[in-house]
Structure 1
Amino acid sequence: MSVVRFGVSLEQDLLDELDAFVKDNVLSNRSQGIRRLIKNYLFEKKWQCNNVVAGSITLVYNPHKNDLSAKLGNIQLEYRDVILSSQHFYLSTDESFEIIAVRGESKKLTELADKIRALKGINRGKLAMTSAG
């Protein structure tokens, strides 16, 4: 793909924020930073349009609290049409780490993640999505 050059004028504080973004994301230059921000924006716009996306839900929780493992299993069964796989790891006797691979309409994946994160005993939960062909 060919690259087109164009000029951009920014206020100093916005330029400083861009430079911080480039540094924090270990990018080579401002152009890469602007490209990344545009791609993120466009993906988020598609995500809000309820396109099909792929992603993961990562969880840290105590499986012994409130029959949490059974509740998680029931929710995953309810959403089996969008769950590709799940992997469970024991971090300690009282802490589990789980990764749930998902693919489907972004609204449904968000709904699934919200249901899971709302369970009492989930310490941390995060949904990450990316475009899917």
Structure 2
Amino acid sequence: MGRTIRFGVSLDSELLDKFDVLCDERCYQTRSEAIRDLIRNTLVQQEWEDTDREIAGTLTLVYDHHKSDLAQRLTEIQHDVHDIIITSLHVHLDHYNCLEVLVLKGPGQQVRNLAQRLISTKGVKHGKLSLTTTGQDLT
């Protein structure tokens, strides 16, 4: 981690008031910590835009496992790209519905492609990809 540098920011008073409300709502102790998180989030989003850069994330799927061959089709897709799936969790929500969470790590485009293939598989009721950073370039 580098040394801490202090700098000033000029803002419109109304914008600062809204920022202070946001800081309170999100329980930030100081504006500095909130600004650091905003900068980190922007840097992480920039990582996601680089299709070759390694990213991490989770993919959550909800589906009816009684649908014809759906569980098998999802498993086959996952086996095709097993190298970017770190682990998975399978939960029975009720007699019909399952929730599956995949932890992913790999090149951005491959992670997004896998997520889209699984989410768009006929019978998947809902899917959500949540991306994050591997943390290697953040301090």
The TM-score normalised by the length of structure 2 is: 0.82
Moved over 3 A (4+): none
Whole-Å Cα distance in 2 between the matches of residues 13 and 117 of structure 1? Answer: 41
Whole-Å Cα distance in 1 between the matches of residues 23 and 82 of structure 2? Answer: 39
Q: Which runs of 5+ in 1 are unaligned?
A: none
Whole-Å Cα distance in 2 between the matches of residues 124 and 24 of structure 1? Answer: 29
| Cα displacement (A) at 1:89 | 0.6
User: 1:26–1:64: structure 2 CA closer, same or farther, 3 Å change rule?
Assistant: farther
Structure 2 counterpart of 1:113: 115
| Cα displacement (A) at 1:109 | 0.3
| Cα displacement (A) at 1:67 | 2.7
Whole-Å Cα distance in 1 between the matches of residues 119 and 66 of structure 2? Answer: 16
| Cα displacement (A) at 1:34 | 1.0
- Which piece of structure 1 moves more, 91-100 or 8-17? 8-17
Secondary structure (helix, strand or coil) at the match of 2:93 reads strand
Does structure 1 residue 86 correspond to structure 2 residue 88?
yes
Root mean square deviation of aligned Cα: 2.0
Give the AA of the match of 1:62.
D
Identity %: 35
| Cα displacement (A) at 1:131 | 2.3
Structure 2 counterpart of 1:76: 78
| Cα displacement (A) at 1:130 | 2.5
- Which piece of structure 1 moves more, 38-47 or 4-13? 4-13
Q: How many residues align?
A: 133
Q: Which runs of 5+ in 2 are unaligned?
A: none
